[in-house]
Structure 1
Amino acid sequence: MRPMQREPHILLGLRADQFRHPVDLQATRSLQQLPGLGLLIQNLLGSTAEQVFYLDNIASSIQINEHQLPEIHQLLVQACRILDLEVPQLYVRQNPVPNAYTFAMQGKKPFIVLHSSLLDLLEPPEIQAVLAHELGHLKCNHGVYLTMANILMLSTSLIPFGGLFYQALQDQLMHWVRCAEFTCDRAALLVTQEAKTVISVLMKLCGGSPQLAAKLNVDAFLEQARTYDELDDDLWQVELKQMQNVGRTHPLPVLRAREIDRWFRSNTYQQILELHG
């Protein structure tokens, strides 16, 4: 007989600055100081762009609600209650690559999209961890920068500037995206309130499949993450680690697993639960 799962703490009044990762805060401040950023946001993320993304999504995906896949909708509703957020729209889209993403341009009509293959790979608590991760972007107002990063990656022809400005902006945005992911992993932990659930998601996205998922070992993956974390014996290894991050949209899975394990054991995490629980 499986033990009964305890009810999670509802974090009423939770503020983004209480769990935002320091590297996210620093990267956001640096991005805001970049010359020309405001003009670029105005040009790329106007009302027309927002409507295009929204229409494409609602026409090509299945909206999840209380009448359509209600068990997944309930996972979203509970995650929103825990993070003290309004419930955004949620969709599932046919795609063989496990992924999820959030659109929230100018703070209007935010929605989350889950790929069908992600649902095939994860158990319900893990699906909720993914939803909470995406909600973290909404809680921290990441939406505008996230959407701009996606557009920059789609096509350079959309950029009204070129040369060094474009490259510098793209590099700084990709750095910001990687930093923001650490914050959203914390949002996932605040909802699941179990580090192994979040780490299991990272493990399965790293090397899982529907056939292998049930056989994977979270403790072994976390030990792998600790081993990687300790590989700083010389300067060359440190430089190789830095090179691994170049051009990536997400931090390395082992780094994310190690980071969330540390935060789970920290006083800061426990204090948030006690303060809002």
Structure 2
Amino acid sequence: MGLWKLRLSMIGTLAALIGLSTLFFAIILDLLGIATLTSARGLAFLIGLVVAFNLLQWLLAPYMIDSMYRVRPADRRQYARLYEIVEGLCRRLRLKVPKLMIADLPIPNAFAYGSPLAGSRVAVTTGLLRELEEEEVEAVIGHELGHLKHRDVQVMMFASVLPAIFYLLGYSLMWSSWLGARDREEAGGLALVGFASLAIYWVLSLFVLHLSRLREYYADRESALNVPDGARKLSEALAKIVYSTGRLHLHGRGGVGAPSSRL
């Protein structure tokens, strides 16, 4: 996929996500306003709760990841070559060097993460270093640095907030229809709007998934451009990762699963 086509696809998907969210929200507000089933204050509280939860998750997620997946700072003497690879790629990408982390996991994987509190981080598992050649590790790290360059964590957090609002709204209305309705007619109206909100959540989630896949392609492009013969090396690395991960799961030696990532 060409650069401009990729960028236009991402912009179009994000615009559709925002536009549909606004449209659906206006419709639901209209329905609730006509039926006088909820207050603007209650809706504002729900939206604020979703936004606050996502912000808190973003700020604290790096510390949770480090604890859950046994992630530690990479020792510069032990991983001197890995530091050289990361720093060299950052120069080519014109990117501030992130903290390099090691996850003691047998599953071959790498992931980029971070927050304003923790800073930007790139972690590789010991399984990745064991299974891949050095040039393939470089291609994988190039992909992960692409995520940091494009601020994918922030973009996807914003995109995920929109369907989450409808998810919480839908369940709140469903519970209200069972527990807080004054009569059968009001209960039916609440349940109907709640079900519609959950359906909207599902539709918007498809847009978020598509946007996530486009961001993966965008990160692939950074690896292909900034690593010599990067496209081939990244493809070979991905094939080895899929094979090795399947083999570990087959023999029950996967351990604690690393954060989901295509690479």
Same fold (TM over 0.5): yes
Q: Per the alignment, do residues 72 and 148 of structure 1 end up closer, same or farther by CA in structure 2, a change over 3 Å counting?
A: farther
Aligned equivalent of 2:232: 196
Conserved in 1, the CA contact under 8 Å of 2:62 and 2:115?
no
Q: 1:165: how far off?
A: 3.1
- Is 1:97–2:107 an aligned residue pair? yes
1:72 and 1:112 map into 2 onto residues whose CA distance is 11
1:56 and 1:87 map into 2 onto residues whose CA distance is 22
Aligned equivalent of 1:30: 16
Q: Which runs of 5+ in 2 are unaligned?
A: 26-46, 171-197, 248-259
Aligned equivalent of 1:182: 217
- Aligned CA RMSD, in angstroms, stands at 3.9
- The one of 54, 57, 65 equivalent to 1:45 is 54
Conserved in 2, the CA contact under 8 Å of 1:27 and 1:179?
no
Conserved in 2, the CA contact under 8 Å of 1:66 and 1:74?
no
- The alignment-based identity, stated in percent, is 22
Conserved in 1, the CA contact under 8 Å of 2:58 and 2:157?
no
1:121 and 1:19 map into 2 onto residues whose CA distance is 34
Conserved in 2, the CA contact under 8 Å of 1:75 and 1:128?
yes
1:177 and 1:129 map into 2 onto residues whose CA distance is 20
- Is 1:115–2:151 an aligned residue pair? no
1:164 and 1:249 map into 2 onto residues whose CA distance is 27
Q: 1:80: how far off?
A: 0.5
Q: Which amino acid aligns with 2:51?
A: Q
Q: 1:94: how far off?
A: 2.6
Report the structure number with the largest CA radius of gyration.
Answer: 2
Aligned equivalent of 2:206: 171
1:120 and 1:150 map into 2 onto residues whose CA distance is 34
Conserved in 1, the CA contact under 8 Å of 2:85 and 2:138?
yes
Q: Per the alignment, do residues 51 and 21 of structure 1 end up closer, same or farther by CA in structure 2, a change over 3 Å counting?
A: closer
Moved more, 96-105 or 111-120: 96-105
Q: 1:81: how far off?
A: 0.6
Cα deviation code 1:161-188 (max 9, x no counterpart): 4412321232211111111111111111
1:149 and 1:26 map into 2 onto residues whose CA distance is 13
Secondary structure of the 2:219 match is helix
Secondary structure of the 1:203 match is helix
Q: Which runs of 5+ in 1 are unaligned?
A: 1-16, 212-247, 254-277
Secondary structure of the 1:103 match is strand
Q: 1:113: how far off?
A: 2.2
Q: 1:40: how far off?
A: 8.0
User: What TM-score, normalized to structure 1?
Assistant: 0.57
User: What TM-score, normalized to structure 2?
Assistant: 0.60
- The one of 128, 146, 160 equivalent to 2:168 is 160
Secondary structure of the 1:97 match is coil
Q: 1:136: how far off?
A: 0.9
User: What is the correspondence of 1:190-229 to structure 2 with a 5 Å cutoff?
Assistant: 190-194=225-229, 195-208=231-244
